[in-house]
Structure 1
Amino acid sequence: MTPPANPAGEYVAEPQPTDARRAELIAIIEQAPQQLSRAVAGLSDEQLNAKYLNWSIRQIVQHIADSHAHSYIRCKWTLTEEQPLIKAYDENLWSALPDAREGNIAAPLAMLAGVHQCWVQILRAMTPADFARSFNHPETGKAVVLNDALSYYAWHGQHHTAQISWLREQHGW
């Protein structure tokens, strides 16, 4: 069976979330490391190498940690600089590195847990004016508002965790 492109559903931008919705999105980010850990619990090395489209489960785990670490840093830059130009990276090249292809997933899972603890602390301290701040993305040339980044990364963790869950379900793991 062909894997669905978005097993957690399509991303829907939420540019003006209410305070209550913002709290829900932060809670989703807070829970993401535990959900990912549950999704990969008990998988063998062979199972971790199973592919969902172009990436193995192992690569997906590393990608989430890399991507969310970047988002956390981008958030801090945006809170401390006026519309900073962030550094982009090629996620496919990063996912082709040995740590992503062959590494033990305990390290990126621990990294993700630590990044999310720090990230949630700052997200919960931010004001609506802070969430209205933006950074510039060099690849798109567009400003990204932190409200948008919040809703995207809440979805992003769910999206990739759902890919792993889909694989487990298809294989009966």
Structure 2
Amino acid sequence: MTTDLKYPIGKFQAPTSFSIVEIQQWIQDIKAFPAQVKAEVFRLGAAGLEKPYREGGWTGRQVIHHCADSHYNSFMRFKLALTEEIPSIKPYHEDLWAKQVDYDIPIDASMAILEGLHIRWTTLLESLSLEDMQRTFYHPEMKREIRLDHNIALYSWHCRHHLGQLNLIIP
């Protein structure tokens, strides 16, 4: 753990190698995420979701809406990488997305997205061969190709990172 409230589990550290055991654990982290968020929502209650996890940070509601957006984008990047040769993906400004009116609505729609999406996403991830996991997409902001096994590690961290933020909220 870290004392940095923005990154309660620390910043993402990209692995230098990828074992099948680690990849399977990362997929399980992604699979478990919607149920873990649901438990945090229950703990926080409606009033707790309106509190930021740190001063200047997003509210619990915004974190959940962000996860629906981010995870949907990641799922689409997997689909593109599996069906095209090194597709260029479209980055987005998550900070500006969080200011859109749909982040003001209750979390029910984003929870439904997370629950359905994570079933589809982890079904896809569990079907990938080691060769599939080496497929890439091109990230124009980073100016490099990203392998799918790297992206699985990143989104395992992303799930745990945002759960850590929700856990910081005191209802």
TM-score by length of 2: 0.91
SS in 2 for 1:135: strand
Please report how far the alpha carbon of residue 8 of structure 1 lies from its aligned counterpart in structure 2 after TM superposition: 2.0
Structure 2 spans left out of the alignment, 5+ residues = none
CA deviation vs aligned residue, 1:119-144 (integer Å, no higher than 9, x gap): 11110110111111110112121111
In the alignment, is the contact (CA less than 8 A) between 1:14 and 1:147 conserved in 2? no
Q: 1:97 aligns with which of 97, 100, 110?
A: 100
Matched, 1:30 2:45: no
CA pair 44-124 structure 1, distance change in 2 beyond 3 A: closer
Q: Name structure 1 gaps, 5 residues minimum.
A: none
Residue number among 55, 59, 83 corresponding to 1:56 in the alignment: 59
TM-score (norm 1): 0.90
Query: Are residue 140 (structure 1) and residue 142 (structure 2) matched?
Result: yes
Per the TM alignment, residue 7 of structure 1 is displaced from its structure 2 partner at its CA by: 1.0
Q: 1:71-82, aligned counterparts within 5 Å?
A: 71-82=74-85
Mapped pair 1:118 → 2:99: no
User: Over the residues paired in the alignment, what is the CA RMSD in angstroms?
Assistant: 1.5
- Residues 9-51 of structure 1: per-residue CA shift (max 9 Å, x gap): 3322124311111111111100011111111115344322211
2:19 is aligned to 18
Aligned residues of 1:16 and 1:147 also touching (Cα < 8 A): no
Conserved in 2, the CA contact under 8 Å of 1:15 and 1:147?
no
Asked if the contact 1:35–1:161 (Cα under 8 Å) also holds between the matched residues in 2, the reply is: yes
SS in 2 for 1:143: strand
Deviating beyond 6 angstroms after TM superposition, the runs of 4 or more aligned structure 1 residues are: none
Identical aligned pairs, as a percentage? Answer: 34
Task: After TM superposition, give the deviation of residue 3 of structure 1 in Å.
Answer: 6.1
Paired amino acid for 1:84: P
Q: CA–CA distance in 2 between the matches of 1:77 and 1:15?
A: 24
- For the residue of structure 1 that corresponds to 2:78, the secondary structure is helix
* Equivalence for 1:9: 10
For the residue of structure 1 that corresponds to 2:13, the secondary structure is: coil
